Homo-oligomer: A and B are copies of this chain.
Amino acid sequence: MSTVTVLVVDDESRMRKLIKDFLMQKNFSVLEAEDGEKALEVYHEHQKDIELILLDVMMPKLDGWSVLRQIRQESKVPIIMLTARGEEQDELFGFELGVDEYISKPFSPKILVARVEAILNRVNGNKNDISDYGGITIDADGRTVKVDGKQIEMSLREYELLKYLVDNAGIALSRDKILNNVWNYDYYGDSRTIDSHIKKIRHKLGKKGKYIETMRGVGYKFEVKK
């Protein structure tokens, strides 16, 4: 499998580092730019490698929209816009200009990576990422969960948490790790909120709730037992 290169454009270096870390963990290779002008420079230099661009809207020198317009004149490379809360009113406007997706800050690592992968999948023509774990079926495209074929309603966090556990089946996950991967990066609440969600998920999974094991003193682990 070859690596996919993503260009991350944001004026805050902390934000760039954050995104870079998430993506590198998933084996993307990452290029950075700190403002619109640099973004265009880097883009032209590595045009043939860059398969996706993450573009902050608010930037000095040349804002995200301008960068978007310029790149769209020459390429259809997928572009995801990063917006701060409250900027959503521009969304329609953006789609016309060829924005593929929006992610609003603050976002969770999972969401970020999932959107990036979803778009790359779409562009590359692949789809349908359905996996089954001992009768628990997760359709990542439809964001649906079925237990023994019967669909279960799950809220956003419940789904994300279950997905994270399941993606890391067999691995004991600490509450810290879970918070860092499933919750937004600006969440600093009680890690026991995880327990509450676990309770609900277990309940919804019924008998199969026992696949979520408690790792006392550590956290939780998903494992299908025979």
Given contacts A2-B101, A29-B118, contact A172 B143 (CB under 8 A): yes
Check A156–B111 contact: CB distance below 8 A. no
Q: Which of A55-63, A71-79, A201-209, A210-218 contacts B (4 or more CB under 8 A)?
A: A210-218
Check A115–B2 contact: CB distance below 8 A. yes
Among B2, B46, B121, B143, which residue has its beta carbon within 8 angstroms of that of A215? B143
A200 to B43, CA, bound (A): 54
The 0/1 profile, CB within 8 Å of B marked 1, for residues 87-127 of chain A is 00000000000000110000010110011001001100000
A143 to B24, CA, bound (A): 25
Among B115, B121, B142, which residue has its beta carbon within 8 angstroms of that of A223? B142
Among B111, B118, B217, which residue has its beta carbon within 8 angstroms of that of A27? B118
Residue A170 interfacial (CB < 8 Å): yes
- Considering only CB atoms, which chain B residue lies closest to A4 in the complex? B118
- Considering only CB atoms, which chain B residue lies closest to A151 in the complex? B225
Residues of B within 8 A of A18 (CB): none
Residues of B within 8 A of A218 (CB): 143, 156
Check A216–B141 contact: CB distance below 8 A. no
- Considering only CB atoms, which chain B residue lies closest to A101 in the complex? B2
Residue A152 interfacial (CB < 8 Å): no
Check B170–A141 contact: CB distance below 8 A. yes
Given contacts A143-B215, A143-B218, A172-B143, contact A122 B27 (CB under 8 A): yes
Residue A15 interfacial (CB < 8 Å): no
Residue A16 interfacial (CB < 8 Å): no
The 0/1 profile, CB within 8 Å of B marked 1, for residues 1-41 of chain A is 11101000000000000000000100101000000000000
A221 to B142, CA, bound (A): 8
A interface, CB within 8 angstroms of B: 1-3, 5, 24, 27, 29, 46, 49, 101-102, 108, 110-111, 114-115, 118, 121-122, 139, 141-143, 155-156, 170-172, 215-218, 221, 223
Given contacts A1-B101, A27-B122, 17 further A-B contacts (CB under 8 A): A2-B101, A2-B102, A2-B115, A3-B115, A3-B118, A5-B114, A27-B121, A29-B114, A49-B110, A49-B111, A139-B170, A142-B171, A142-B172, A142-B221, A143-B172, A143-B218, A156-B216
